[in-house]
Amino acid sequence: MKKDKLQYSFLGLLLLFLFYGELNAAVKLPRLVSNGMVLQRNEPVTIWGWADAGENIEIEFLGKVFETKADRNGSWQLELNAMAAGGPYSMTINDLVLNDILVGDVWLASGQSNMELQLRRVMDLYADEILKINTDQIRLFRSSTRENAENEQADYPDGKWLSSTPENIMEFSAGAWFFAEKIHQSQDVPVGIISTAIGGSPAEAWLSKDKVTPFLDEWLAQGKKIDSMRAAYIKEHGEIKRYNWGAEVNKNDHGAGKWSKDDVDVSDWPQISLPGYWTDKGVNFWNGSIWFYKEFELDESLAGEQAILRLGRIIDSDSAFVNGTFVGNITYQYPPRIYTIPEGVLKAGTNKVMVRVFNQGGRGGFVEEKPYEVRVGNEVIDITGDWQYHIGAELNPPGTNFGGLAFRPGGLYNSLINPMKEYPVKGVIWYQGETNAGSGFQYRQLFKDLIVDWRDQLEKPALPFLFVQLANLGLPNKQPVENGWAETRDAQRRALELPNTGMAVAFDIGEWNDIHPLNKKEVARRLALEAERVAYGNDEIVSSGPLYESMKAEDGSILLTFSSVGSGLFANNKLEGFQIAGEDGRFVWANAVVMSKNTVKVWSRKIKEPVAVRYAWDGNPAGSNLKNKENLPASPFTTED
């Protein structure tokens, strides 16, 4: 009896050991290698993952079997043969089965907020089109991580492949979606987008450890400087107390919890005309909270209906109330304010809008040339004009705020690019530069370094890299000036010196009052034109506007030669946007005329011996109109080194 028990116990332990052995030997895959993934066509594809050291790995895909073993660290990878576009397919990796796999073209979409900006943010322009999207042929992978990692990460913490269905589409990058749609139409293959863009990110954050050292050294030195300032402050004043500026404003705001209600008395509140900046209208208020009140009338037939409150764009943050009901808030200045007024809130007769605005410095206000209205059914009620206002609390941000070092150089490469570098892609689309604007001369090399770096890391030296030049922003200057935005555009143009690059010019399709212009469809179209040439080898297509090539001083003028002129420079308009300078480097507005298919003559009676020309050299170079006959705008440039 004891012998039988001993045998059973031994057998149980053996089964338990084998069971746990099977658990430990289970294959783990990166997030990208999952159900619904899109694999790159026409080139070998790497599939990789982790298992126990020495574990046998077997992949079955499209009728073929691929085998390897995990190395001593438990890592493994296999290279699959190149495949034609198609699907959906299934893949078996040991005991794991992945379904709904497509083979097509995969593009990496990265940069900062103009690439990150989602389709839900551009509904004003494309609502009818977006609401009809429903396809599984264009897919997105995006992780929620915004980690600024110190070390290279092997995988994303989350994320999955999403089809372009009504349930998912609002989360797609607008620029990436419209680009992918163009590629899908032109190539007739599935398209996958790996989206890694992070708002506000500088180019330095996207460099790998092989390129980032000088920027990281500077970043660390800045950290030491801040730490020494903090130490000096503590020595003189004692420990720095945690300071919550927003909470302090709330504590001192007379209207907090009161003026948002429906019965607030505003009879003694002064008036202000909106939209606009309140400091331009005589309100001397910079930091703290300020309340704005507006009434509008509503017909009885629309009472109780769900509605939309549009509050354009507000600097810096706001909370909005209608008839005492909270309808929404935005915590920073850039997103459009589109708030839903629930059923039952609106009433016949007079309705009340109250908006509380927080501002932490600089000019606060309601940005002009944006929609400020209530939309009920088919009726649009304009709420611009006279509002009433009351300052809630004035409170400067703390002087002891030593700030922070937001993006670690290399940090976003570590967390967002390193995990996908084994995953083959067709190319990169990149929209970034706003954060680096003002360091244009440094950006000339930095941006080129980034392109070369990614090609090295992805082991594709000819990887197509397409990017968007900065859009127009701000009011146009009446006289030629030095401009950091223009310097950065020129730095971007010079990256075209690298092979297999392409640039979408955007200074003519932005918005003077918004760093996030909505017209992402035209940006994507121009990127897709460059993709046709750079990534798909269509040498017949005219994929960009004129690009400055060379200059020659001649008889008191400068003759400019351009490439990428297509059918020729468009010559039916008076040319605007040219500046010219002599030896003293002082630029003045210049005359310009098209001389031939690819040349422009530039001169000014004020400059007898010109040495340099600039074109569209401003944050908002309004009126600059050089283009080719294909209606693609010329890139801004300077002939200076």
Model pLDDT for residues 284-334, shown as the tens digit of each residue: 999 999 999 999 999 999 999 999 999 999 999 999 999 999 999 999 998
Residue type, 192: G
One domain for residues 424 and 497: yes
Regarding whether 127 and 236 lie in a shared domain, the answer is no
- Strands 86-93, 56-61: pairing kind: antiparallel
Q: Looking at the structure, tell me whether residues 451 and 384 fall in a common domain.
A: no
Domain membership flag for residue 101? no
Radius of gyration of the chain (CA): 29
Interatomic CA distance for residues 182 and 163, integer angstroms: 16
pTM of the shown model: 0.91
Over the stretch 419-472, which tens digit does the pLDDT of each residue have?
A: 999 999 999 999 999 999 988 789 999 999 999 999 999 999 999 999 999 999
DSSP3 helix / strand / coil % (the chain, rounded to 5)? 25, 30, 45
- Residue 460 has phi, psi (to 5 degrees) of -135, 85
Which are the contacts of 375, defined by CB distance < 8 A and separation ≥ 6?
Answer: 307, 308, 310, 381
Note the pLDDT of residue 229.
86
CA angle 264, 267, 272 (to 5 degrees): 100
Flag the least confident range among 231-245, 288-302, 319-333, 625-639.
231-245
- Pairing label, strands 349-360, 317-322: antiparallel
Do residue 153 and residue 194 come from a single domain? yes
Residue 542 in any domain: the answer is: no
How many distinct structural domains can be found in the chain?
5
In a shared domain, residues 261 and 388: yes
Query: Number of C-alpha atoms within 13 angstroms, CB side, residue 539?
Result: 0
Query: Contact at 8 Å (CB) between 198 and 43?
Result: no
User: CA nearest 213: which of 359, 410, 10?
Assistant: 410
Instruction: Single out the residue in 339, 362, 394 at which a domain terminates.
Output: 394
Between 396 and 465, residue with greater pLDDT: 465
Q: Distance between CA atoms of 203 and 436, rounded to whole angstroms?
A: 7
Q: Does one domain contain both 68 and 122? A: no
Question: Residue 406: which pLDDT band, with cuts at 50, 70 and 90?
Answer: confident
Q: Which runs of consecutive H residues, i.e. helices, occur in 144-209?
A: 174-187
Distance CA 171, CA 120 (A): 7
221 with 260, same domain: the answer is no
- Which of 213-217, 226-230, 377-381, 525-529 shows the lowest mean pLDDT across its residues? 226-230
Structural domain span for residue 581? 547-638
CB 616 within 8 A of CB 589: no
d(CA 604, CA 321) in angstroms, rounded, equals: 56
Q: Are residues 367 and 421 in the same domain?
A: no
- Which residue has tokens 């497509």? 102
CATH number of the domain that residue 347 is part of: 2.60.120.260
Is residue 331 one of the residues assigned to a domain? Answer: yes
Do 268 and 331 belong to one domain? yes
| 362 located within any domain | yes
Residue 23's pLDDT band, with cuts at 50, 70 and 90, is very low
Residue 297, class by beta-carbon neighbours within 10 Å (0-12 exposed, 13-18 middle, 19+ buried)?
exposed
Q: Residue 462, exposed/middle/buried by CB under 10 A (0-12, 13-18, 19+)?
A: exposed
For residues 23-40, average pLDDT: 88
Tell me, what's the pLDDT at 14? 47
b or e along 304-314 (b: 16 or more beta carbons within 10 Å of the residue's beta carbon)?
beebebbbbbb
Query: Whole-angstrom Cα distance, residue 166 to residue 135?
Result: 9
pLDDT at 181: 98
- Out of 39, 64, 81, a domain closes at 81
DSSP 508-573: TSSBTTBSS-S-HHHHHHHHHHHHHHHTT--TTS--S--EEEEEEEETTEEEEEEE--TT-B--SS
Angle between the 484-494 and 440-457 helix axes, to the nearest 10 degrees?
40
The amino acid sitting at 345 is: V
Q: Are residues 325 and 374 located together in one domain of the fold?
A: yes
Tokens of 561: 């030669």
- Domain termination site, one of 362, 394, 426: 394
Q: Is residue 93 part of a domain?
A: no
12 inside domain: yes
Classify residue 364: in a domain, yes or no: yes
* 24-33, 160-169, 249-258, 469-478: least confident range: 24-33
DSSP characters for 258-303? TTTSTT---TTPPEEEESEEGGGGT----EEEEEEEEEEEE-GGGT
With cut-offs at 50, 70 and 90, classify the pLDDT of residue 353. Answer: very high
Mean pLDDT of the chain: 94
98 domain-assigned: no
Q: How far apart are the first and last CA of the chain?
A: 95
Query: Are 141 and 231 contained in the same domain?
Result: no
DSSP 3-state of 340: strand
Residues 159, 35 contacting (CB under 8 angstroms): no
Map residue 365 onto helix, strand or coil: strand
pLDDT of residue 638: 98
Do 435 and 469 reside in the same domain of the chain?
A: yes
CATH of residue 18's domain is 2.60.40
Whether residue 537 is predicted with pLDDT greater than 90 in this model: the reply is: yes
